[in-house]
Amino acid sequence: MDNALDPYFEKRRRLIEQLVKEGVIKSEKVKKALLRIPRHEFVWPDQLEHAYNDIPLPLGDTNQTVSAPHMVALMNELLDVKEGDKILEVGTGGGYHAATLAVLTCPNLDSPRPLVFTVEINHKLVEFARRNLARLGLDRVVKVIEGDGSKGYLEEAPYDCISVTAAAPRIPQPLIEQLKPNGRMVIPVQSEFFEQNLLLVRKDDKGRVSTTNMGPVIFVPLRGEYGF
Ligand code: SAH
């Protein structure tokens, strides 16, 4: 991940400048994380030339997508990740968003144990994401788990941050339970009008939960026990 040797660095820098100008990237830490992670290493090979366009990209024939950079930036700003935070992601896809979360919780990427736990239900994508993360040496900080993330990942709970990257019919109760006091969760939830909204869910130090609607979004549907 040496930027000086990365032929895509200039394209990535320009995309990130654009997101800063648009006001999507607000903090220095989110800017640094997106500059650091080469999105082209996480897209399907036939999408390489689009890696630095601000759009979601198809993941081969899996019917799933790599999230658009502005969505990853927006969700990361809302999560307000602090160094050392333990993070759960539901829906790994190609592993791009998880890689940015790894930089946010562990800027030196030298954590002795994983801090980002990301659950993916599609076997092909589990393998794809694991390969992508390992190639960049991120597999020490990010652990990819194959399974149904709609019920969270109890083995490592509770989490400071939970990022759900597929749209749910409602907020799954196990995810609320697996959030620490003072924790933050972002999750797209489908309304009765088939519109999806991104919700920011916060738990205060007494365990009280509040939800803020951050506006309309488009995600692939969440599957599994608490999905569609
Ligand atoms: N976070 C990804 C985007 C993933 S798209 C990125 O960095 O670009 C959403 C992903 O959620 C898909 O890969 C899909 O297979 C997965 N998914 C859907 N339902 C799931 C479930 N119940 N558990 C785990 N993964 C799920």
pLDDT of residue 193: 77
Q: Is the CB of 116 under 6 A from ligand 1?
A: no
A 10 A CB-CB count for 14 gives: 10
pLDDT of residue 26: 98
Helix (H, G, I), strand (E, B) or coil at 16: helix
Q: Is the CB of 64 under 6 A from ligand 1?
A: yes
> Nearest residue CA, atom 2 of ligand 1?
93
> Nearest residue CA, atom 16 of ligand 1?
91
Distance CA 26, CA 14 (A): 16
Burial class (CB in 10 A: 0-12, 13-18, 19+), 155: exposed
Q: Global pTM?
A: 0.97
pLDDT of residue 191: 82
67 is catalytic: yes
Where does residue 93 fall: left (phi above 0), alpha (psi -120 to 50 degrees), or beta otherwise? left
Mutate to test the pocket of ligand 1, among 124, 150, 151, 165 (most ligand atoms within 8 A of CB): 165
Q: 27, 67, 150, 210: which is the annotated catalytic residue?
A: 67
Q: Is the CB of 122 under 6 A from ligand 1?
A: yes
pLDDT of residue 44: 97
- Judge contact between 171 and 196, C-beta under 8 A: no
pLDDT of residue 2: 63
Per-residue pLDDT of the chain (228 residues; tens, 9 = 90+): 667 689 899 999 999 999 999 999 999 999 999 999 999 999 999 999 999 999 999 999 999 999 999 999 999 999 999 999 999 999 999 999 999 999 999 999 999 999 999 999 999 999 999 999 999 999 999 999 999 999 999 999 999 999 999 999 999 999 999 999 999 999 999 987 789 999 999 999 999 999 999 999 999 999 999 999
Q: Is the CB of 103 under 6 A from ligand 1?
A: no
Burial class (CB in 10 A: 0-12, 13-18, 19+), 208: exposed
> Nearest residue CA, atom 4 of ligand 1?
93
Give the chain's largest Cα–Cα span.
Answer: 49
Ligand 1 centroid to Cα of residue 82, in Å, is: 24
Architecture per CATH, domain 3-216, reads as 3-Layer(aba) Sandwich (3.40)
Distance CA 211, CA 161 (A): 14
pLDDT of residue 1: 63
